[in-house]
């Protein structure tokens, strides 16, 4: 529960739109520019359908993810004591699903403004680093998101899959970028007696 609340706080933390250093902001903008205007429209439209039953769809994503990767429950301590058979009805999963879908809503709500989108993706990428989420975790979540979209829409067109694959590739790349930056900073501090 603590980790969910901390993630939610980090994602909702208000900061100036251009709070990134110029070089980092440019790098993040370079990533977000990979998502074409057509893909942004597709993502927005398909997410609206997912939001019609947001909680159920979020739960479905995580049930599928934990079924495919049971060890991912270890990332979030609140899931560790919950058996697979009772996971679907667990209040902890319901809460986490709501937070996850809210995070997607925040990203997609800013998808038409590169600067805002870059800032939202930075916040989410950095918040996930605290829990040890890495690039491959994000990549491994994509099939479960696509399966849920397929279920909501009664089918999956290639352009929908391409749009969401690009979005998740951007998020995964930023998670990795911030992770490496954080490791570099930690190593630098260790090498300089803990001082910048």
Q: Which CATH class is domain 2-13+20-191?
A: mainly alpha
pLDDT tens sequence across 113-154: 988 988 888 888 778 777 788 899 999 999 999 999 999 999
pLDDT tens sequence across 169-182: 999 998 888 877 76
Joined tokens for residue 89: 């009805």
Which residue would you say has higher pLDDT here, 196 or 136? Answer: 136
* Statement: residue 4 has pLDDT above 50: no
Q: What is the dihedral of CA 164, 170, 174, 177, to 10 degrees?
A: 130
Joined tokens for residue 8: 């939610």
Which residue would you say has higher pLDDT here, 196 or 134? Answer: 134
pLDDT tens sequence across 6-35: 444 444 444 434 444 445 667 788 889 999
pLDDT tens sequence across 68-113: 998 888 888 888 888 888 888 899 999 999 999 999 999 999 999 9
Which residue would you say has higher pLDDT here, 52 or 83? Answer: 52
Q: How far is residue 51 from each of residues 9, 27, 102, 112, 122, measured CA to CA in Å?
A: 21, 30, 10, 18, 23
3-class DSSP assignment, residue 84? helix
Average pLDDT over the chain, rounded to an integer: 83
- List alpha helices for 75-157, DSSP H: 77-80, 84-87, 91-109, 114-129, 135-153
Which residue would you say has higher pLDDT here, 66 or 18? Answer: 66
Q: How far, in Å, CA of 134 to CA of 157, rounded?
A: 28
Residue 184 is predicted with a pLDDT of 67
Which residue would you say has higher pLDDT here, 130 or 4? Answer: 130
Whether the Cβ atoms of residue 115 and residue 17 lie closer than 8 Å to each other: yes
């Amino acid at each position: 529960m603590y980790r969910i609340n901390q993630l939610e706080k980090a994602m909702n933390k208000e900061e100036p739109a251009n709070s990134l250093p110029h070089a980092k902001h440019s790098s993040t903008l370079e990533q977000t520019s990979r998502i074409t205007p057509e893909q942004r429209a597709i993502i927005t439209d398909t997410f609206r359908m997912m939001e019609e039953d947001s909680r159920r769809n979020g739960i479905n994503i995580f049930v599928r993810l934990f079924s495919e990767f049971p060890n991912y429950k270890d990332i979030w301590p609140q899931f560790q004591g919950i058996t697979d058979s009772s996971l679907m009805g667990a209040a902890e999963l319901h809460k986490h699903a709501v937070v996850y879908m809210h995070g997607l809503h925040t990203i997609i709500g800013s998808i038409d403004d590169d600067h805002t989108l870059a800032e939202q993706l930075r916040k989410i990428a950095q918040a996930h680093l605290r829990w040890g989420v890495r690039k491959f975790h994000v990549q491994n979540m994509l099939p479960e998101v696509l399966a849920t979209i397929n279920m909501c829409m009664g089918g999956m067109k290639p352009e929908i899959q391409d749009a969401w694959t690009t979005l998740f590739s951007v998020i995964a790349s930023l998670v990795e970028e911030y992770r490496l930056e954080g490791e570099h900073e930690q190593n630098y501090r260790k090498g300089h007696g803990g001082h910048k």
